[in-house]
Amino acid sequence: MFNNGWRKPSVVMSNYLDRIGAGWVLAKPEVFNFDYIPNKLVGRDGIQNELASKFTTLHLPEGSGRVVITGPVGSGKTVLARTFCRDIQRHLANKRNIRSVHVNCRNASTSMRVVQRILHELAPGHPDRGLSMGELLISLRRILRKDTSHLIVVLDEVDHMLRRSGDDLLYQLLRIDEDQSGRGTLSLILISQEQVLDVLETAVISRMGNTNHLRIQPYTSDGLEAIATQRAIEGLVPGSWTPEIIRLLAEKAAPTGDARRVIELLNAAVERCEFRQDDHSERRLTVEDIHLPLENSPTTLGSNLEHIDDLNPNAMLVLLSLCRRLTKEESMTTGDVEQLYAVVCEEYEKKMKSHTTIWKYLKEFEERQIITSRVATITGGRGRTTHLSMPHYLPKDLGIRIEMLLKKRFR
């Protein structure tokens, strides 16, 4: 009876909830999950070939393989193992029945829990409690022999299990076929950030093989670009991104070499682009979307604008010319820099410095991580040119600070 301006909640909420699912830029959100497994692993062709070489006998009834994969966070260890297991199952579908079980030992941190997880994947109704380790392993042997499958066991972050339970389970899994005259029923893939071979007993190392160690390096800028491009193709609306934007993202993530970082940056840019959408907004990723700061990010340099305060005024004029172009474009050539620098010098009534001096300034900017450079072949194959970009700073904000500093310097 008394309204007092109250409206039904559904009417109030619809104003801001209408944005959910709009998808002007984002087509498939699941593509940006860290657990998403792409159809093809990009940026790791060499290491994929090396991994496959450890399983060259897997097509044979008695064949098996074993490997230890190590590398820093975000180097693609888990996705490498998952895509290999998926692809080898398809590849050998008409020759051998391959099954795989992936256990994260951070969550199952004891040998008992690891075996329970393996059995649960193979036989969901298998009892989890009340059985000894020996009984669990007997059950595993029975299941594998009953359906004549070959099982690939992937123990991710295996160092967590090794610290709590030691390596006896690894020894038992590696000798699971001893009473079968060498018939191969199980392969083993260990994943860790650490070099776990150093902490294993001699008997386990002997069975794993010292040469079966794959050490993965952090991703290069090109590798990160390939990952971001793949996610953009699969997850974004066509026409909502450009190769130049993706390259800028890769350069921004390059100091970490972390695939998760470049996916996170792309997802954050997409969220910002979606957030600003209205009838007047450009429905594609922009430079400003790329520079959305992420909380608690150790590699975000964009808030540290004071980094340029000690540059000499002439260097600031060169940097200002970069900022003005990179506010609208993802990259520019050194030739563009000199042309825009001439305009800035005229604006400030200053004499241009030589080509050599400008080049020295650009090198200094790169050493300070203000810009990055890459050399590319000119279209048509006629020579090479250097492209400059600013992945760690928002050019617009940096330009405003330079203009403020120049007013003080040129009084």
How much is the pLDDT for 141? Answer: 86
Say what the pLDDT of residue 35 is.
Answer: 86
Confidence bin at 180 (pLDDT 50/70/90): low
pLDDT reading at 10 higher than 90: no
* pLDDT on residue 245: 93
Q: What is the mean pLDDT of residues 182-207?
A: 84
Query: Which of 115, 42, 111, 105 lies closest to 79, judged by CA?
Result: 42
Is the model more confident about 147 or about 225?
A: 225
> Is-contact 54 67, C-beta < 8 A?
yes
What is the pLDDT averaged over residues 352-361? 94
Q: How far apart are the C-alpha atoms of 156 and 105, rounded to whole Å?
A: 6
Which residue, of 160, 194, 215, is where some domain finishes?
A: 215
- SS3 for the chain is CCCCCCCCHHHHHHHHHCCCCCCCCECCHHHHCCCCCCCCCCCCHHHHHHHHHCCCCCCCCCCCCEEEEECCCCCCHHHHHHHHHHHHHHHCCCCCCEEEEEEECCCCCCHHHHHHHHHHHHCCCCCCCCCCHHHHHHHHHHHHHHCCCEEEEEEECCHHHHHHHCCHHHHHHHCCCHHHCCCCCEEEEEEECCCHHHHCCHHHHHHHCCCCEEECCCCCHHHHHHHHHHHHHHHECCCCCCHHHHHHHHHHHCCCCCHHHHHHHHHHHHHHHHHCCCCCCCCCCCHHHHCCCCCCCCCCCCCCHHHHCCCCHHHHHHHHHHHHHHCCCCCEEHHHHHHHHHHHHHHHCCCCCCHHHHHHHHHHHHHCCCCEEEEEECCCCCCEEEEEECCCCCHHHHHHHHHHHHHHHCC
Q: Is 90 left (phi over 0), alpha (psi -120 to 50) or beta?
A: alpha
Same domain, 276 and 369: no
In a domain, 192, yes or no: yes
CATH of the domain at 65: 3.40.50.300
pLDDT band at 11 (very low <50, low <70, confident <90, very high): very low
- The model's confidence at residue 298, banded by pLDDT at 50, 70 and 90, is very low
Predicted pLDDT at 203: 87
Average pLDDT on 108-115 reads 93
What mean pLDDT do residues 200-228 have?
91
Q: What is the pLDDT of residue 313?
A: 93
Least confident interval from 149-153, 221-225, 304-308, 348-352: 304-308
Predicted pLDDT at 184: 72
Q: Which domain holds residue 149?
A: 45-215
Does pLDDT of 296 surpass 50?
no
Query: What pLDDT is attached to residue 344?
Result: 95
Phi, psi of 259 (to 5 degrees): -65, -35
- Rounded CA gap, 247 and 300, in Å? 17
Flag whether 322 is in a domain.
Answer: yes
208: confidence class by pLDDT, cuts 50, 70, 90: confident
- On whether residue 7 sits in a domain, the answer given is no
Q: How many domains does the chain have?
A: 3
Q: Has residue 111 got a pLDDT over 90?
A: yes
Residue 363 placed within a domain: yes
Same-domain check for residues 172 and 264: no
| pLDDT score, position 2 | 47
| Domain CATH for 257 | 1.10.8.60
Q: What is the chain's mean pLDDT, rounded? A: 86
Specify the pLDDT at position 145. Answer: 81
The confidence score (pLDDT) of residue 311 equals: 93
One domain for residues 312 and 265 = no
